[in-house]
Amino acid sequence: MRKKIIAGNWKMNKNLEEGMALASEVVNMVKDEYQGSAEVVLIPPFTHISAVSKIISDASNVFSGAQNCSNHASGAYTGEISTEMLKSAGASYIIIGHSERRQYFGEHNDWLAKKVDAVLGSGLNPIYCCGETLEERESNVHFGVLETQIKEGLFHLNESQIAQVVIAYEPVWAIGTGKTASTAQAQEVHAFLRNLISNQFGSNIANNITIQYGGSVKADNAKELFSAPDIDGALVGGAALQSRSFVDIIKAMA
């Protein structure tokens, strides 16, 4: 059975004290209230990963992650953070190619492919994001856009490497906008993505790869989204900044 994963991307929010309080609340609430099988991933700013990783260390189903990384291993790259540094701080997952990185920081698929390699090289799991803009969806080119993002970012991997990857489908028009893709729209894309993976890597790998949905996921739409056969969890932004709303999303996953 493939892994279900609910991840909270805190983006550039919360100071250290606030982040530690949020992580503690989530861990305690998950322990008390969640009996399901999903993994929970807290993805704070870099500066908080070490502290958050200590807070979650005795919860077997809660992990930490990072929002980005360098594609370089070490050296004269001022301001960059390597996958080994993130690993030593306790991170298990690293988001690669979030649409905000693509849009505001010019990250392209060829560069992201190198970051995926760096994450895998450190034995960590990339959460590789893909998603179309509103304009691309309205002009009906979204499947082509998604296919290019997946092919250029992931198709150079071998079978054991792709098995470590989590894919997050995040339509850009649904991120932080309050507009969620309908369950039918999301399911259609998730099935398309799984089929792409199947054609390249085989059906066994495709059936086991986790594909998360992201884009204005809230407690009141999570259950329906999670009922779709190809939606294996969520990458959550805004609603992950409060323990109650985030844990209610987790609880929507059986």
CA contacts within 13 A on the Cβ side of 71: 14
Backbone torsion region of residue 108, taken as left when φ is above 0, otherwise alpha when ψ lies between -120 and 50, otherwise beta? beta
Q: Can residue 8 be called a binding residue for ligand PEP (CB under 6 A)? A: no
Please state the length of the chain: 254
Instruction: Tally Cβ neighbours within 10 Å of residue 84.
Output: 16
Q: Can residue 176 be called a binding residue for ligand PEP (CB under 6 A)? A: yes
Q: Which of 214, 221, 226, 243 binds ligand PEP (CB under 6 A)?
A: 214
Q: Which is nearer to ligand PEP, 30 or 43 (CB)?
A: 43
Backbone torsion region of residue 216, taken as left when φ is above 0, otherwise alpha when ψ lies between -120 and 50, otherwise beta? left
Q: Can residue 89 be called a binding residue for ligand PEP (CB under 6 A)? A: no
Q: Smallest gap, in angstroms, from Cβ of residue 17 to ligand PEP?
A: 23
Structure tokens that stand for 108 in this block: 């392209």
User: Nearest CA to 93 among 72, 130, 62?
Assistant: 62
Site for ligand PEP in 94-123 (CB under 6 A): none
Q: Smallest gap, in angstroms, from Cβ of residue 225 to ligand PEP?
A: 12
Catalytically active residues are 98, 170
Phi, psi angles (nearest 5°) of residue 217: -75, 135
Q: Smallest gap, in angstroms, from Cβ of residue 5 to ligand PEP?
A: 13
Q: Which is nearer to ligand PEP, 90 or 171 (CB)?
A: 171
Q: Can residue 235 be called a binding residue for ligand PEP (CB under 6 A)? A: yes
Q: Which stretch binds ligand PEP (CB under 6 A): 82-90, 101-109, 146-154, 208-216?
A: 208-216
Q: Could you tell me how many residues of this chain bind ligand PEP (CB under 6 A)?
A: 13
Q: Which of 125, 238, 245, 250 binds ligand PEP (CB under 6 A)?
A: 238
Q: What is the largest CA-CA distance in the chain?
A: 48
Q: Smallest gap, in angstroms, from Cβ of residue 158 to ligand PEP?
A: 28
Binding mask 136-175 vs ligand PEP (x if CB under 6 A, - otherwise)? Answer: ----------------------------------x----x
Q: Which stretch binds ligand PEP (CB under 6 A): 32-40, 109-117, 141-149, 213-221?
A: 213-221
The CA distance from 1 to 232, in Å, is 11
- CA angle at 103 for the pair 135 and 241, rounded to the nearest 5°: 100
Q: Which is nearer to ligand PEP, 68 or 201 (CB)?
A: 68
Strands (E), the chain: 5-9, 39-43, 62-66, 93-96, 125-130, 166-169, 211-214, 233-236
**Is 73 in a helix, a strand, or coil?**
coil
The residues of the shown chain that bind ligand PEP, judged by CB under 6 A, are 9, 170, 175-176, 214-217, 235-239
